[in-house]
Chain A
Amino acid sequence: MVENTNNEKLINKGRRDFIKSSGYLMVGFNLFPIVSCVQGNQAETKNLNEEFPRPLDANQINAWLKIDEKGLVTVMTGKMELGQGIKTALQQIAAEELDVSMDNMRILIADTGITQDERYTAGSGSIEGSGGSIRNAAATARQLLLEMAAKKLEVNENQLSIKDGIVSDMNSTKTISYGALVQNQQIDGKTNEAVKKKDPAAYKIVGRPILREDIRNLVLGNEHFIHDLRLPEMVHARVLRPPVYKAKIKSIPETEVKSIPGVLSLIRDGNYIAVIADEEYAAVKALKVLKEKSVWEKHPLSLDDPNLKEAIFKSDEKEQVVDGEKQFAWASDAQFKTLEASYFRPYHMHGSIGPSCAIAMWKEDFLTIWSPSQGVYPLRRTVSDLLKIPEEKIRAIGVPGSGCYGHNGADDVSADAALLAIKFPGRPVRVQWMREDEHSWEPYGSAMGFTLKAQIDREKKVSFWQTKLWSDTHSTRPNGKAGHFIGARHLDQPFNFDAGGFSGGSYRNATPLYNFGGKQIISIPFVGPLRTSALRSLGAYANIFALESFMDELAYLAERDVVQFRLDQLEDPRARAVIEEVVEKSDFKSKSSNVGKGLAFSRYKKTAAYLAVVAEVKIDPVGKTFRCSKLTAVIDAGQVINSDGLKNQTEGGMIQSASWTLKEYVRFNAQGIKSTSWETYPIFRFEDVPKIEVLVLDRPQEKALGAGEAAQGPVAAAIANAIFDATKSRVRDLPITPDKIQWSR
């Protein structure tokens, strides 16, 4: 398995010489077919808009995979590699159905010139979506190859077997390879959904912990990220962001900036100001001067973070029943016990470690964008809206960025690059944000508020459950509307932001999976002061935090064991299995002093992976502090494609969620965002990280389920429940910090 088709020769042989002679480096990237002719600067960049490729129709086998005369298979996915290991998993699926060894697999990712429009790489949907299409294409291709081999070898199809891309006659020594079968032609045909696929019981590649080859590149320090892409004649840009969202520019130190050596252009379009330089550090210096000496008319924010919670619960926007019963009445019978509690989650950052970066070039009436976006097609559509250039004249090529965990600055920086490429035509323009801009301008995960109320009957079961939740939007992805790019809002002819009314993310996982007498879920919009969009798991994180904390509260009210209280009201055998398994594995029932244990469970999106987790906290009642010492999770994601990849994603989700839960909130006041560095927005460091254990329940005969976001919500609730177990103090406001615990209890 090699990372990209285009780099196999260049990677090992004479790499350094190549860099020296050409002065730039393009190998190792998903630039096919541009890179295949890498030599002189001119030849290469010119090739971008000549022979501009287009993907085939999605119902063609060749739209998803190609086999060359050497038998090498190239998979093409519209999904993006975000560090989740999707490249490896999708190659495993194709290799399995085709009976090809992983050594002969290649993959190309998101590129509007090559791959299908698979919208966003989000919502833990790549295995179910792209994986399904690739499996169909591979199984259909295998069937065609089998038919071709039968004809060539003049034998009956059912006496043939396939191993490692070689078709063999079981009754003779006759063999033929895939490469020899296809020769220089592509297998031509439509994918057939009904084609017979392998029985999962016979899988040899799917399910195995195949190593991600891209990690080899990372440990060697090879080029991998958009940040490492160096195009010929490339220039470097930095954008001056306002000190607060809607500030307007009054003056900039134009003469001083233009006199900085290396500065090629100072661009001003309304409140959108950028500098372009021949070297990166010159652009950095220019931006520093711009930041220090520009004068703005500020536009204060309406709130500050200490008053956020109160403001959320006061939102008087229209209530909407989004699930459950429209009408009901609380029981007045004294036999019923009633409980009500409110929970709160602040704004959280994606907090990518590498600031957003993209490159664009406007040349010969054609725009190419190299972008770490989660959706190259929606990006292209939105850039088309922004620049009024037809989509056919734009190519968006996906290149991995720093982990994004949702909609971070990746699309915004791509729009920056596109805007600046138009204003500085003919050369590739590379834009990278500074740390402060990343922290201040990324769209945060929305703050949320919850009021939960339930009644318990004589059977110690929930007779009725009501959730009221307040939230700003969880999706402002571009989706064709240029006003969703922050840069577009600052132009002289600004695009307006229209949130679009999507509220589905707010109540994701708000409905308990438990069998209660009745349920009602009410969603209330809150239009907050900060920019928000999709952060890993959207509203599910806080919904599950509130729901599973409240389940514990109800279990205590019912005087029932927290495990049994859940199992008593849960029918789904797979849900029960993850809970029972984690209780056993974590030794949940054993007690020791100053140690608390908490359990939480969810099935992500009600349709994706099941996950139950036990958190262990160690408290120091004298020092009035605590530490989360261990997290144990059991996950059922149906059929497992890559067991190590699934574990890696789950472990990562657990640690990230623990960091959100224990440390993080965005600080802001009227003057703007105050969390502008890792000092003012601390996240987990090594010293904070608990011991992590993940057990995977493999169900090979079941459908593969999205797993990348399954841990986010349960971890938060499990920690809160563990704190309660140890201290008898219930913390309902995130983050859970020692000062919020009532230590006297």
Chain B
Amino acid sequence: MPEIILEINGKEEKLDVDPKTPLLYALRGNLSLNAPKFGCGLGQCGTCMVLVNGSPQPSCLLTCESMSGKSIRTLEDLGNEEKMDPVQEAFFEKQAAQCGFCTNGMIICAKALLEQHSEPTTADITNALNRVLCRCGSHSRILDAVKYAVNLKRNQG
């Protein structure tokens, strides 16, 4: 199989995969990443979101070959236990999850939004997160968490 080189979380990763493999399977299967999850494989639920050149994209619909030359970031790269990203911190502090299967998609979309808008409106947030489904009904908390993340980010300068 041809080797594909992708930039994932700031590192060059050599992937020994069928070039048509959806990025999601390479991230989970070849790189043992956990955050992007399979939900529908149709781009309808948003659980598999990753940042492609800073923009949130469903990784179940992107082939590996189409990703060469692009910068891919997953939730794992946003922060760690010692230093969380403000969005991660806000989701934890506000306990904005129940089962948490949607958490990846929610945080990735919120992160992308906050990179674009430092003071998003409620409508902006709703719009940015609308493509990610949550079945537990954590929406109102997630909305609060994103608003709280805006504050955290502002205070961190």
Residues of A within 8 A of B (CB): 11-12, 19, 24-25, 82-85, 211-212, 214-216, 218-225, 227-228, 230, 261, 279-281, 284, 351-355, 400-403, 405, 432, 434-435, 644, 648-649, 651-656, 659, 677-679, 683-687, 689, 691-692
- A83 to B99, alpha carbons, bound, how many Å? 4
The reply to whether the CB of B84 lies closer than 8 angstroms to some CB of chain A is yes
Q: Distance in Å from the Cβ of A54 to the closest Cβ of chain B?
A: 30
Contact assessment for B135 and A281 in the assembled complex, using a CB-CB cutoff below 8 Å: no
The 8 Å CB contact of B29, one of A223, A281, A434, is: A281
The reply to whether the CB of B117 lies closer than 8 angstroms to some CB of chain A is no
- A434 to B134, alpha carbons, bound, how many Å? 18
Q: Distance in Å from the Cβ of B96 to the closest Cβ of chain A?
A: 8
Contact with A along B101-134 (1 / 0, CB 8 A): 1111001000000000000000001110111111
Contact assessment for B81 and A432 in the assembled complex, using a CB-CB cutoff below 8 Å: no
**Closest residue of chain B to A230, judged by CB?**
B32
Contact assessment for B101 and A354 in the assembled complex, using a CB-CB cutoff below 8 Å: yes
Contact with A along B38-71 (1 / 0, CB 8 A): 1111101101000000000000000000000000
Contact assessment for B34 and A228 in the assembled complex, using a CB-CB cutoff below 8 Å: yes
The reply to whether the CB of B141 lies closer than 8 angstroms to some CB of chain A is yes
Q: For B32, what are the chain A residues with a Cβ–Cβ distance below 8 Å?
A: 19, 24-25, 230
Q: Which one of B127, B132, B138 has the highest number of Cβ atoms from chain A below 10 Å of its Cβ? A: B138
Q: For B140, what are the chain A residues with a Cβ–Cβ distance below 8 Å?
A: 651, 655, 689, 691-692
Contact with A along B135-157 (1 / 0, CB 8 A): 11111110100000000000000
Q: For B18, what are the chain A residues with a Cβ–Cβ distance below 8 Å?
A: 261, 281
Q: Distance in Å from the Cβ of A692 to the closest Cβ of chain B?
A: 4
Q: For A225, what are the chain B residues with a Cβ–Cβ distance below 8 Å?
A: 34, 37, 101
The 8 Å CB contact of B103, one of A218, A649, A677, is: A218
Q: 23 A-B contacts, Cβ less than 8 Å apart?
A: A83-B136, A84-B98, A215-B95, A216-B81, A216-B92, A218-B91, A219-B75, A219-B89, A221-B35, A221-B74, A223-B34, A280-B28, A284-B25, A353-B134, A353-B135, A400-B99, A435-B40, A435-B42, A649-B98, A656-B137, A684-B137, A685-B133, A686-B125
**Closest residue of chain A to B102, judged by CB?**
A353
Q: For A220, what are the chain B residues with a Cβ–Cβ distance below 8 Å?
A: 75-76, 79-81, 84, 88
Q: For A352, what are the chain B residues with a Cβ–Cβ distance below 8 Å?
A: 101, 135
**Closest residue of chain B to A222, judged by CB?**
B34
Q: Distance in Å from the Cβ of B27 to the closest Cβ of chain A?
A: 11
Contact assessment for A354 and B137 in the assembled complex, using a CB-CB cutoff below 8 Å: no
- A279 to B45, alpha carbons, bound, how many Å? 24
Contact assessment for B139 and A678 in the assembled complex, using a CB-CB cutoff below 8 Å: no
- A224 to B125, alpha carbons, bound, how many Å? 27
The 8 Å CB contact of A211, one of B95, B107, B126, B133, is: B95
Contact assessment for A83 and B133 in the assembled complex, using a CB-CB cutoff below 8 Å: no
Other A-B pairs beyond A281-B25, A353-B39, A354-B39, 8, CB < 8 Å: A215-B103, A219-B91, A221-B104, A401-B99, A402-B99, A403-B98, A677-B40, A686-B139
Classify chain B: how many residues form its interface, as a range: 35 or more
Contact assessment for A221 and B137 in the assembled complex, using a CB-CB cutoff below 8 Å: no
Contact assessment for B44 and A219 in the assembled complex, using a CB-CB cutoff below 8 Å: no
Contact assessment for A648 and B138 in the assembled complex, using a CB-CB cutoff below 8 Å: yes
Q: For B41, what are the chain A residues with a Cβ–Cβ distance below 8 Å?
A: 434-435
Residues of B within 8 A of A (CB): 17-18, 21-22, 25, 28-29, 32-35, 37-42, 44-45, 47, 74-76, 79-81, 84, 88-89, 91-93, 95-104, 107, 125-127, 129-141, 143
Q: For B131, what are the chain A residues with a Cβ–Cβ distance below 8 Å?
A: 685
Given A215-B100, A216-B92, CB of A435 within 8 Å of CB of B39: yes
Give 5 closest A-B pairs by Cβ, nearest first: A83-B99, A655-B137, A221-B35, A403-B99, A652-B137
Contact assessment for A354 and B22 in the assembled complex, using a CB-CB cutoff below 8 Å: no
Contact assessment for A351 and B44 in the assembled complex, using a CB-CB cutoff below 8 Å: no
Contact assessment for A403 and B135 in the assembled complex, using a CB-CB cutoff below 8 Å: yes
Q: Which one of B41, B101, B104, B137 has the highest number of Cβ atoms from chain A below 10 Å of its Cβ? A: B137
Contact assessment for B135 and A224 in the assembled complex, using a CB-CB cutoff below 8 Å: no
Q: Distance in Å from the Cβ of B49 to the closest Cβ of chain A?
A: 11
Q: For A685, what are the chain B residues with a Cβ–Cβ distance below 8 Å?
A: 130-131, 133
The 8 Å CB contact of A686, one of B34, B81, B91, B126, is: B126
**Closest residue of chain B to A690, judged by CB?**
B140
Q: For A25, what are the chain B residues with a Cβ–Cβ distance below 8 Å?
A: 32
Q: Distance in Å from the Cβ of B125 to the closest Cβ of chain A?
A: 8
Q: For A691, what are the chain B residues with a Cβ–Cβ distance below 8 Å?
A: 140
Contact assessment for B44 and A677 in the assembled complex, using a CB-CB cutoff below 8 Å: yes
Q: Distance in Å from the Cβ of A340 to the closest Cβ of chain B?
A: 34
- A223 to B107, alpha carbons, bound, how many Å? 16
- A322 to B4, alpha carbons, bound, how many Å? 66
Contact assessment for A214 and B129 in the assembled complex, using a CB-CB cutoff below 8 Å: no
Q: For B75, what are the chain A residues with a Cβ–Cβ distance below 8 Å?
A: 219-221
The 8 Å CB contact of B97, one of A11, A19, A83, is: A83
Given A281-B29, A284-B25, A654-B137, CB of A82 within 8 Å of CB of B38: no
- A12 to B83, alpha carbons, bound, how many Å? 13
Contact assessment for A218 and B100 in the assembled complex, using a CB-CB cutoff below 8 Å: yes
Q: For B136, what are the chain A residues with a Cβ–Cβ distance below 8 Å?
A: 83, 403, 652, 656
Q: Distance in Å from the Cβ of A433 to the closest Cβ of chain B?
A: 10
- A11 to B42, alpha carbons, bound, how many Å? 33
**Closest residue of chain B to A654, judged by CB?**
B137
Q: For B99, what are the chain A residues with a Cβ–Cβ distance below 8 Å?
A: 82-83, 353, 400-403
Contact assessment for B101 and A644 in the assembled complex, using a CB-CB cutoff below 8 Å: no
Contact assessment for A215 and B91 in the assembled complex, using a CB-CB cutoff below 8 Å: yes
Contact assessment for A280 and B95 in the assembled complex, using a CB-CB cutoff below 8 Å: no
Contact assessment for A221 and B76 in the assembled complex, using a CB-CB cutoff below 8 Å: yes
**Closest residue of chain B to A649, judged by CB?**
B98
**Closest residue of chain B to A658, judged by CB?**
B137
Q: For A655, what are the chain B residues with a Cβ–Cβ distance below 8 Å?
A: 137-140
The 8 Å CB contact of A648, one of B28, B44, B98, B133, is: B98
**Closest residue of chain B to A282, judged by CB?**
B18
Contact assessment for A224 and B91 in the assembled complex, using a CB-CB cutoff below 8 Å: no
Contact assessment for A227 and B37 in the assembled complex, using a CB-CB cutoff below 8 Å: yes
Given A211-B92, A686-B130, CB of A656 within 8 Å of CB of B38: no
The 8 Å CB contact of A678, one of B44, B89, B93, B129, is: B44
Q: For B25, what are the chain A residues with a Cβ–Cβ distance below 8 Å?
A: 279-281, 284
Q: Which one of A221, A434, A435, A689 has the highest number of Cβ atoms from chain B below 10 Å of its Cβ? A: A221
Q: Distance in Å from the Cβ of B76 to the closest Cβ of chain A?
A: 5
- A405 to B38, alpha carbons, bound, how many Å? 19
Q: For B138, what are the chain A residues with a Cβ–Cβ distance below 8 Å?
A: 648, 651-652, 655
- A685 to B132, alpha carbons, bound, how many Å? 7
The 8 Å CB contact of B101, one of A12, A403, A651, A653, is: A403
Given A216-B81, A651-B140, CB of A224 within 8 Å of CB of B100: yes
Contact assessment for A218 and B135 in the assembled complex, using a CB-CB cutoff below 8 Å: no
Q: For A402, what are the chain B residues with a Cβ–Cβ distance below 8 Å?
A: 99, 101, 135
Q: For B28, what are the chain A residues with a Cβ–Cβ distance below 8 Å?
A: 280
Q: Distance in Å from the Cβ of A653 to the closest Cβ of chain B?
A: 7
**Closest residue of chain B to A12, judged by CB?**
B81
- A355 to B102, alpha carbons, bound, how many Å? 12
- A206 to B127, alpha carbons, bound, how many Å? 38
Q: Which one of A215, A355, A432 has the highest number of Cβ atoms from chain B below 10 Å of its Cβ? A: A215
- A284 to B74, alpha carbons, bound, how many Å? 23
Q: For A227, what are the chain B residues with a Cβ–Cβ distance below 8 Å?
A: 37-38
- A281 to B15, alpha carbons, bound, how many Å? 14
Q: Distance in Å from the Cβ of B102 to the closest Cβ of chain A?
A: 6
- A655 to B95, alpha carbons, bound, how many Å? 16
Q: Distance in Å from the Cβ of A354 to the closest Cβ of chain B?
A: 4
**Closest residue of chain A to B93, judged by CB?**
A211
- A225 to B143, alpha carbons, bound, how many Å? 24
**Closest residue of chain B to A435, judged by CB?**
B40
Q: Distance in Å from the Cβ of B25 to the closest Cβ of chain A?
A: 4
- A402 to B129, alpha carbons, bound, how many Å? 19
Q: Distance in Å from the Cβ of A25 to the closest Cβ of chain B?
A: 6
- A683 to B137, alpha carbons, bound, how many Å? 11
Q: For B132, what are the chain A residues with a Cβ–Cβ distance below 8 Å?
A: 686
Q: Distance in Å from the Cβ of A632 to the closest Cβ of chain B?
A: 12
